[in-house]
Amino acid sequence: AQSVTQLDSQVPVFEEAPVELRCNYSSSVSVYLFWYVQYPNQGLQLLLKYLSGSTLVKGINGFEAEFNKSQTSFHLRKPSVHISDTAEYFCAVSDQGQGGKLIFGQGTELSVKP
């Protein structure tokens, strides 16, 4: 079974500052990794995913994440945030089977202040 831990429940940051949202996972098998974003009063949308290949994954809106197998981490980064990045971010993991169930972390609330 897999599990996901998002290490920060809230991250306040000033506009144009860099940000890192931390995610650690545990699994006994190979996994796929995802970051989803939830803007206020909306559903979740995919930010980026790691399936295989390069460990540095680029997503939408200037976000990127790095898969680190030895540290079982998949931290999300952005070099310069905007007010519009204020949202809740969810890290998720699934095994690589066809019916792989998606397991979500607890979420990190990113608050960008002017």
Partner 1 sequence: EAQVTQNPRYLITVTGKKLTVTCSQNMNHEYMSWYRQDPGLGLRQIYYSMNVEVTDKGDVPEGYKVSRKEKRNFPLILESPSPNQTSLYFCASRPQGFGANVLTFGAGSRLTVL
Q: Which residues bind partner 1 (CB under 8 A)?
A: 4, 6, 9, 32, 34, 36, 41-46, 49, 51, 90, 94, 96, 98-102, 104-107
Q: What's the min distance (Å) between Cβ of 78 and partner 1?
A: 21
Q: Between the CA of residue 19 and those of 12, 38, 53, 63, what are the distances in Å?
A: 9, 17, 24, 10
**What is the closest distance, in whole angstroms, from the C-beta atom of residue 104 to partner 1 in the complex?**
4
Q: How far is the CB of 16 from partner 1 (least distance, A)?
A: 29
The residue assigned the tokens 């190979």 is 30
Question: Under a CB-based contact definition with an 8 Å cutoff, are residues 66 and 60 in contact?
Answer: no
Q: Is the CB of residue 23 less than 8 Å from the CB of residue 73?
A: yes
- The two structure tokens encoding residue 16: 């144009």
Q: Which is nearer to partner 1, 45 or 84 (CB)?
A: 45
